[in-house]
Structure 1
Amino acid sequence: MNLQKILQEFITLWVVIDPIGTLPVFLAVTAGMSVTASRRLAVRAVTVAFMVLLSFIVLGQLMLEALGISLASFQIAGGIVLFLFALTMIFGDSKPDREVADESEHPDAFIKEKSVYPLAMPSIASPGAMLAVVILTDNDRFSISHQFITATLMALIMLVVLALLLLAHPILRLIGTTGASVISRVMGLLLAAVAVNAVLTAFVQIGVLPALP
């Protein structure tokens, strides 16, 4: 696994997890909470999201094989879903606006619930991220060491997410909600390109298209 491949996977995971887009969601959920409580919520949310994505790395393909679904089929379906998800990031309501819409209650009474939804899922461990980690750890194409590197990259991004959440208030003051929305849309455009590439790669694998240049 060369440096270019590692960088490509890191960017893919960064885009689908979208750490910056999670900041306004976190700020809305933790409004009025003490610093200690908000930090505890951040740690819990990142831990839950990490365990969800790790379970997809370990068991995702096994579930597909048990259902008789080829990875190429899953990759094509996943690419289409990723593309549609990217379109909602680009043209729809921004990720923060969509996920914070009904979060008006004080979070202290349901800190455990809010660490799972909307923070851990779908803000951090999004459907796109779940699909991406399965595709990036294909047992038929990638060795155990390759999959371990992918899991390590995912863990590193989770540490970045945790750091951003712990620094959420200063960061949002710096970039503003508009800046977060713009960054989320740029990430959506990159994700759309990743989705198209996943579908084209699957078509090459099943022989529908010649090898890509």
Structure 2
Amino acid sequence: MNDWISSFVFFFAVIDPVGTLPVFIAVTAQHAEWQKRKIAILSVVVATGILLFFLIAGQYLLETIGVPLSAFQVAGGVVLFLFALTMIFGEGKPEQEVGIIQKGNETAIFPLAVPSIASPGAMLAAVVLTDNYRFDIIHNMSTATAMIAVLGIVLVVLLTANWIYRWIGNAGANIVSRVMGLILASVATTNVLLGIQQFFSI
């Protein structure tokens, strides 16, 4: 149960459902309510497919090109840490992705499904948390359910986006994003340390 909660918190931090709110609001500003629901469902379905692909095949792809998972874990931890720093000290997820939208890419696929929901950090988490050498299939299935649970929360958040956004505003979304950034920085540091330990124990 503790492993499931850890996986859930990790995915919640890297996917950041609340941080996706301003992106969704901007993307769907000119759409009718039924179109907003369709966009929300499509973006989550696409993101789920992408993350399940990395969860199932990510490690095999790495092994095919000769990259040990421990090396990928260290590199990914460093990238996640830098990403977390931008969430804490930088513009934050909402401003960054709204900026992308303002360049004219207003679709459910980009930037909603990728990189807002299926972010690089989420793809990394899907690979690292399902290491076939450390975890059995039961654990990996549990990790998959934790990821899908977070994606379910994303769908609920998007379907109720207008109400939630009126309640917390852009400032509230930024606060949540920065708190998630702090959690993500801690998780990233742990991944680097575990990757180094695993590499030298081989």
**TM-score, normalising length: structure 1:** 0.91
**Please, which of 141, 152, 161 is the counterpart of residue 145 of structure 2?**
152
How far apart, in 2, do the equivalents of 1:36 and 1:206 lie?
Answer: 50
1:34-85 CA distances to partner (integer Å, 9 max, x unpaired)?
A: 0000000000000000000000011100000001111110000010010011
SS of residue matched to 1:207: helix
1:135-157 CA distances to partner (integer Å, 9 max, x unpaired)?
A: 00001111111111111111111
CA contact (8 A) 2:76 2:124 kept: yes
1:167 aligns with 2:165: no
Aligned-CA RMSD value: 1.5
SS of residue matched to 1:63: helix
Equivalences for residues 100-115 of structure 1 within 5 A: 100-104=98-102, 114-115=107-108
% identical aligned pairs: 51
SS of residue matched to 1:114: coil
Name the amino acid aligned to 2:192.
Answer: V
SS of residue matched to 2:108: helix
Give the match for residue 184 of structure 2: 191
Gaps of 5+ in 1: 209-213
How far apart, in 2, do the equivalents of 1:151 and 1:125 lie?
Answer: 14
1:104-146 CA distances to partner (integer Å, 9 max, x unpaired)?
A: 589xxx8xx6111000000000000100110000011111111
**Closer, same or farther: CA 104–193 of 1 in aligned 2, 3 Å:** closer
Name the amino acid aligned to 1:181.
Answer: N
Aligned residues between the structures: 201
How far apart, in 2, do the equivalents of 1:185 and 1:40 lie?
Answer: 29
How far apart, in 2, do the equivalents of 1:120 and 1:68 lie?
Answer: 29
SS of residue matched to 1:101: helix
After the TM superposition, which segments of 4 or more aligned residues of structure 1 sit over 2 Å from their partners?
102-106
SS of residue matched to 2:107: helix
Gaps of 5+ in 2: none
Name the amino acid aligned to 2:91.
Answer: D
Give the match for residue 95 of structure 2: 97
Give 1:201 shift. Answer: 1.0
SS of residue matched to 2:133: coil
How far apart, in 2, do the equivalents of 1:207 and 1:78 lie?
Answer: 17
